[in-house]
Amino acid sequence: MDYRKLAERLLPGDYPTPEFYEEKYPPRALPAGAEVTRLAPSPTGFIHLGNLFAAIANERVAHRSGGVLYLRIEDTDLKRKVDGAVEAVIGALKYFDIKFDEGAEIGGDETYAPWYQRQRAEIYRAFAKKLIAEGRAYPCFCTEEELSALREEQTAKKEITGYYGKYARCRNLSEEEIYRNLDAGKPFVIRLRSLGNPENKLKLRDAVKGEITVTENDQDVVILKSDGIPTYHFAHAIDDHFMRTTLVIRGEEWLASLPIHVELFDALGFRRPRYGHNCSLMKQDGETRRKLSKRKDPELSLEFYRKEGYYPRAVKVYMLTLLNSNFEEWYLKNPAADLNEFPFKVEKMSKSGALFDLDKLNDISKNELALLDEKAMLVFLKDWAAEFGTSAQKNYFADEEKMLRVLTLCMGVGGKKRRKDFTTASQAMEFIRYFFERPEAHEEYRAERETVCAVLRDFLQSYSPADDSQAWFGKVKEVAAAHGYAAEMRDYKASPESYKGSVADVAEILRIATTGRANTPDLYTIMQILGEEETRARLKCATENP
Ligand code: GLU
């Protein structure tokens, strides 16, 4: 068969030569050892923890080696495209301090642009044409119906599904049949003519998993769809070559496609990048471990972490803990260090499933937030509230001095003995809510209603905001004594049966009335922050409807 003629018929016109592209996209001028890595998401609008996992690894490898991290958008499948998805990817990753050097909506060195696959149509066609002219690709006229009938047949026979070997019907069409179909205007796709044999095993070196064995590809995969748009597999091989990617770290769900990618690189005459397939994030679900699922686990989506207000560094610390086995030890020694100083190594990435545990992340978050000073905490909460908070929450920041006093109290005064009550911004905002909004509901008092009202009324009479904490506590004691509670703890301990309770129980009544909660930081300071008017109003209100 005259493959050149066929190529001209299928993709008419002059296309640039491979040499032209080799010159147009020259090898990058980078120092020896510098890695070029990329993130290549489809613009589906869903960006998940697995993406972040791979992004951190790619970013670390690129930047530690003095290389480049770029963002390529794999938008060949229009059906999956969502508006604003690219900005969402960039925004989500920026939150976790992942910075791209170049790419879609980022800019940077234009040499390897454009970074949207849809804008690179000509180059894919040029190489498809080359493969056709070499007999390595052919037109396939099978219709959707024929292909699904084929799938059914293969499924019924319990055979591997797909277009391969004896099932690849259009692979052996005669020249005459091909031209007859073309003359009849039948739509066609272009398929790779696979030379692989599934009996053959390929031994490859995976940068993460070490030596792996995969089965040679024998699928005649589609490389150009009927509208001339490439498939992901084909575009990926061409782009990784001409964008001069040296290392691809991606999720292990792509391992199954690796034999296809290997054959494409070989067929195109390109040197393959190194691949590292990182393990999937697993979740303990009762007795079993399973992959995190989009449907069942909200924590899979990166949106979740922003909405909940996880401190980005905490998420990154946890991801690094899962990514590199020696990170935890390093981090214990260098708790305040810039995370970028950690000597990240691809070889130290774990080879099999990493267990993702939200409780662990929460612990890390508590520690990380406890390292912040009040001002940094204020900025963090304020930024979160501006984006996700209710209008009441946004208002908490109207008086920043008050907010600082609240945070100083809630985080533990003096910085040394930090409290670790805050996990996320949303949880912290809920935690400090009673400083800014009157409690709608009160936790239950342990004392009887009559006693509660009497205690509150008495306290209101003696309360003065000018008191220092000792004088204030003296008054609480007086109220305690007046209502049958022991004013001194030691008296109560010596003979508990002689009292209704102790001064601590009276303080609890005041605490619940003021804040709605039985557990809070120092009540005297809370009243100071609330101010006289508000404190009185709350205590009074509590006597009316406790
Ligand atoms: N476009 C693929 C994705 O959506 C990228 C696969 C790869 O990194 O090679 O994840």
Cα of 41 vs centre of ligand 1, distance in Å, is: 5
Residue 415, pLDDT score: 57
Q: Kindly state if the Cβ of 136 falls inside 6 Å of ligand 1.
A: no
Amino acid at the residue 113? A
d(CA 140, CA 486): 92
Q: Kindly state if the Cβ of 40 falls inside 6 Å of ligand 1.
A: yes
Residue 413, pLDDT score: 64
Is residue 337 within 8 Å of residue 317, measured between CB atoms?
Answer: no
Q: Give residue-wise pLDDT tens across range 311-338.
A: 999 999 999 999 999 999 999 999 989 9
Query: 81 pLDDT band (50/70/90 cuts)?
Result: confident
d(CA 226, CA 150): 19
Q: Which CATH number fits domain 449-544: 2.140.10.10, 1.10.1740.110, 3.40.228.10, 1.10.10.350?
A: 1.10.10.350
Residue 544, pLDDT score: 85
Query: 546 pLDDT band (50/70/90 cuts)?
Result: low
Query: 102 pLDDT band (50/70/90 cuts)?
Result: very high
Q: Give residue-wise pLDDT tens across range 340-363.
A: 999 999 999 988 878 999 999 999
Domain range 3-15+121-278, CATH architecture: 3-Layer(aba) Sandwich (3.40)
Give me the residues paired with residue 283 across strands: 290
Average pLDDT of 31-50?
Answer: 94
Query: 458 pLDDT band (50/70/90 cuts)?
Result: very high
Q: Which atom of ligand 1 is nearest to the CA of 236?
A: 9
Ligand 1 atom 3, closest CA? 41
Burial of 54-91, coded b for 16+ CB within 10 Å and e otherwise, reads bbbbbbbbbbbbebbbbbbbbbbeeeebeeebbebbbe
Residue 19, pLDDT score: 98
Q: Kindly state if the Cβ of 542 falls inside 6 Å of ligand 1.
A: no
Query: 505 pLDDT band (50/70/90 cuts)?
Result: very high
Residue 82, pLDDT score: 83
Q: Where are the domains of the chain?
A: 3-15+121-278, 374-435, 449-544
Question: Which of 74, 252, 294 is the best mutation target for the ligand 1 pocket, counting ligand atoms within 8 Å of the beta carbon and taking the most?
Answer: 74
Residue 203, pLDDT score: 97
Lowest mean pLDDT among 113-117, 188-192, 438-442, 464-468: 438-442
Helices of type H across 78-197:
85-95, 121-133, 144-156, 175-183
Number of helices (H), then strands (E), in the chain: 23, 15
Average pLDDT of 498-518?
Answer: 97
Catalytic residue annotation: 294
* pLDDT(414) > 90: no
Is residue 101 within 8 Å of residue 108, measured between CB atoms?
Answer: yes
Half-sphere exposure of 543 (CA within 13 A, CB side): 15
Lowest mean pLDDT among 141-145, 289-293, 532-536: 289-293
Cα of 39 vs centre of ligand 1, distance in Å, is: 8
Q: Kindly state if the Cβ of 255 falls inside 6 Å of ligand 1.
A: no
Average pLDDT of every residue of the chain: 95
Helices 121-133 and 3-10 sit at what angle, rounded to 10 degrees? Answer: 150
Q: Kindly state if the Cβ of 102 falls inside 6 Å of ligand 1.
A: no
Sequential DSSP letters for 380-416:
HHHHHHHHH--HHHHHTTSSHHHHHHHHHHHH-TTTT
Residue 45, pLDDT score: 86
Q: Kindly state if the Cβ of 254 falls inside 6 Å of ligand 1.
A: yes
Cα of 73 vs centre of ligand 1, distance in Å, is: 9
Average pLDDT of 195-210?
Answer: 97
